[in-house]
Amino acid sequence: MTEDELKNISSAHSKILAGYVIVYRIFHVFKERSQFCMIELMNRRNNGDDFNFEEYIENEVNGMPKPTDLKSIGKILGKV
């Protein structure tokens, strides 16, 4: 990742960061970005942020339909 991308991660809203993790968990894309997002979420928690990102990610992943074809994948990506 570039330095600019890392800066964007550090200034992004926690739900946006969690969104990258959700996309990775469902579609297995953006692995490196997802890892940096998780690190940022953990750092924020260590610094007092009370966003329960683990629960948020699990709820979102479990609430997504399982993709069975390209049409449903497109609909899911439109929600992220």
Domains of the chain, residue spans: 3-79
Q: How far is Cα 78 from Cα 73, in angstroms, rounded to an integer?
A: 9
Which DSSP category does 66 fall into? P
Q: Could you read off the pLDDT of 52-70 as tens digits, one per residue?
A: 999 999 999 998 876 666 6
Q: For 8-21, what is each residue's pLDDT tens digit?
A: 888 999 999 999 99
* Contact of 31 with 24, CB cutoff 8 Å: yes
Q: Are 63 and 55 in contact (CB under 8 A)?
A: no
* Cβ proximity of 33 and 22 under 8 Å: no
Please state, in angstroms and rounded to a whole number, the distance separating the CA atoms of residues 7 and 22: 20
Give CA–CA dist 49/46, Å, rounded.
7
